[in-house]
């Protein structure tokens, strides 16, 4: 049984030591950044469930960054956040005043947490204001929108990362390690299922705001996980079929569910499904010498149950979001590349576009990544 080397308590313990000691400590994750002696300011754009339930609380645990402002449609909500997180009310912006972020030196990073269909607009506004950008998954509705975000960040010379928090989770890091070091042989067979039951029609079932149905919101996790299991490879081909609509009143312009396959270079195949009409959160990867199975909460924040052909894994779950945001702050402070750049978000949208095309045509479609 394996124990993680980056438990949250250990992490906090390490980062609270003096800067001089830390600079010489090879286990300090952010020694270079700390030497600069400043926490970067983050502004959250969109104060919905993910910001309120996860990102805000995580920003109380971060070391290299803190919540310094918000962009919201509700002034009242913004004032409550200013009180709860201790930033000045002058740091509350509306979606229409985002350009004024350019005049705020206390905000270094803008984190876009609005519905998918607004990611491009808000990420581009942030880049134009000269701020580094974190954009939630899925990066946008289309590859073309991803390209416009990447171009805007390049033009503004700001860094761009995607909210792929699982890259900072020990179980998923173990999946990536196994894929790289091939302890179980190369993974050749992957399976995944991710869904929840949607009983009303929120923005997630509105094509304009969501870009599509569960493949956008949930399927993207399996797509991303399968690419991790394929050691970072992009699938060459996909096939797909939409689930029959049992609730056409909700899913009038997006799919209710999707079955799909992805064929990777070298012959590995992932068979997956996603749905807004059943509950599931599972993923499995098999090689000729062993397997790893994410049996429960495969892609969520806590409660992961992960077994392997060598026995169960038992890592201490960290705060994925705090690690993700601290890592991006470190990339900015130390001028390093993020492991979750815009290009990864774009790759996943290219796969999703191929899946929609395959479902529409019934054919085997090449991924144009």
Question: Of 309-328, which residues contact ligand NAD (CB under 6 A)?
Answer: none
Tokens (6 digits) for 185: 């042989």
Q: Is 95 a catalytic residue?
A: no
**Cα 189 from Cα 186, distance rounded (Å):** 9
DSSP 155-223: HHT--EEE--GGGGSHHHHHHHHHHHH-TT-S--EEEEEEE----S--GGG-HHHHSSSHIIIIIHHHH
Q: State the minimum distance, in angstroms, from the CB of residue 124 to ligand NAD.
A: 15
For position 203 contacting ligand NAD by CB under 6 A, the verdict is yes
- Length of the chain equals 369
CB of 139 to ligand NAD, least distance (A): 9
Binding-site size for ligand NAD (CB under 6 A) equals 19
Indicate which single residue of 115, 170, 192, 345 sits in contact with ligand NAD (rule: CB under 6 A).
115
* HEC profile of 331-356: HHHCCCCCCCEHHHHHHHHHHHHHHH
Alpha helix (H) ranges present in 195-341? Answer: 207-210, 214, 220-229, 320-333
H-helix or E-strand spanning residue 122: helix 119-128
Assess 56 for contact with ligand NAD (CB under 6 A): no
Shortest distance in whole angstroms from residue 184 CB to ligand NAD: 27
Q: Which of 93, 111, 171, 221 is catalytic?
A: 221
Query: Which two three-digit tokens encode residue 271?
Result: 């068979």
Give me the least distance between CB of 164 and ligand NAD, in Å please: 8
How far apart CA 348 and CA 363 sit, in angstroms, is: 19
* Contact yes or no for 139/340 (Cβ under 8 A): no
* Residue placing its CB nearer to ligand NAD in the complex, 31 or 65: 65
Which of 45/268 has CB closer to ligand NAD? Answer: 45
Footprint of ligand NAD on 24-53 (CB under 6 A): 46-51
Catalytic residue chosen out of the listed positions 137, 164, 171, 356 = 137
**Which residues between 137 and 166 bind ligand NAD (CB under 6 A)?**
137, 163, 165
Among residues 297 and 364, whose Cβ is nearest to ligand NAD? 297
Give the per-residue contact string, 68-97, with ligand NAD (x = CB under 6 A; - = no). Answer: -----x------------------------
Nearer to ligand NAD, 39 or 51 (CB): 51
* 50 a catalytic residue: no
Q: Where are the alpha helices (DSSP H) in 16-118?
A: 19-24, 31-34, 49-50, 56-58, 75-85
CA atoms within a 13 Å half-sphere pointing along the CA-CB vector of 203: 11
Based on the shown chain and the rule CB under 6 A, indicate whether residue 281 belongs to the binding site for ligand NAD.
no
Query: Which residues are known to be catalytic?
Result: 137, 221
Interface residues with ligand NAD (CB under 6 A) are 46-51, 73, 113-116, 118, 136-137, 163, 165, 203, 209, 217
């Amino acid at each position: 049984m394996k124990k993680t080397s980056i438990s949250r308590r250990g992490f906090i313990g390490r980062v609270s030591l003096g800067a001089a000691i830390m600079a010489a400590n090879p286990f300090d994750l952010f020694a270079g950044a700390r030497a600069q002696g400043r926490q970067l300011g983050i502004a959250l754009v969109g104060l919905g469930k993910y910001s309120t339930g996860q990102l805000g609380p995580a920003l109380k645990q971060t070391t290299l960054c803190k919540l310094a402002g918000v962009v919201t449609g509700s002034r009242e909500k913004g004032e409550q956040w200013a009180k709860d997180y201790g930033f000045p009310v002058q740091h509350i912006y509306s979606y229409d005043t985002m350009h004024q972020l350019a005049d705020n030196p206390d905000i270094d990073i803008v984190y876009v947490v609005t519905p998918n269909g607004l990611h491009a607009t808000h990420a581009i506004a942030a880049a134009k204001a000269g701020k580094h950008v974190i954009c939630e998954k899925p990066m946008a509705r289309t590859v073309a929108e991803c390209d416009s975000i990447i171009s805007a960040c390049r033009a503004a010379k700001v860094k761009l990362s995607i909210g792929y928090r699982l890259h900072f989770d020990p179980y998923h890091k173990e999946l990536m390690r196994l894929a790289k070091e091939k302890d179980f042989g190369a993974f050749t067979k992957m399976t995944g299922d991710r869904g929840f039951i949607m009983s009303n029609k929120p923005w997630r079932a509105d094509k304009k705001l969501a870009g599509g149905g569960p493949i956008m919101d949930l399927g993207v996790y399996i797509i991303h996980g399968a690419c991790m299991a394929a050691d970072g490879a992009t699938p060459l081909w996909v096939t797909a079929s939409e689930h029959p609509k049992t609730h056409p009143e909700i899913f009038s312009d997006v799919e209710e569910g999707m079955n799909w396959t992805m064929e990777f270079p070298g012959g590995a195949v992932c068979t997956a499904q996603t749905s807004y009409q059943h509950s599931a959160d599972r993923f499995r990867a098999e090689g000729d010498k062993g397997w790893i199975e994410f049996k429960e909460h495969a892609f969520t924040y806590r409660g992961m149950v992960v077994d392997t052909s060598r026995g169960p894994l038992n890592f201490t779950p960290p705060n994925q979001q705090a690690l993700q945001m601290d890592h991006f702050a470190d990339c900015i402070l130390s001028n390093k590349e993020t492991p979750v750049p815009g290009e990864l978000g774009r790759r996943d949208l290219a796969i999703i576009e191929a899946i929609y095309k395959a479902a529409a045509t019934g054919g085997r479609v090449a991924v144009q990544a």
